[in-house]
Amino acid sequence: MFIPIGIPGWLFLGGEAIYSILALQNGWQPQIGHAGHLGGTAFGVLAGILSRRFGLNMRAFS
């Protein structure tokens, strides 16, 4: 059974990025596009930085 546990976004982001890097290097779960996940992570971080820099409110569910 899945039990939701709240964790900070930065912790999830870091863990996901580290796992994707390790999986890409070691060939874990080859059916998953780990490079694509890393690209999406980089784009999301960049979009977040730019939105804060230029004062854009891009919060989901607001």
CA 11 – CA 16 distance, rounded (Å): 9
pLDDT of residue 51: 84
Q: What is the pLDDT along the chain (62 residues), one digit of tens a residue?
A: 788 889 998 999 999 999 999 999 999 998 999 999 999 999 999 988 888 888 776 566 55
b/e per residue, 29-46, with b = 16+ CB within 10 A? eeeeebeebbeeeeeeee
Rounded to 5 degrees, φ, ψ at 54 are: -100, 10
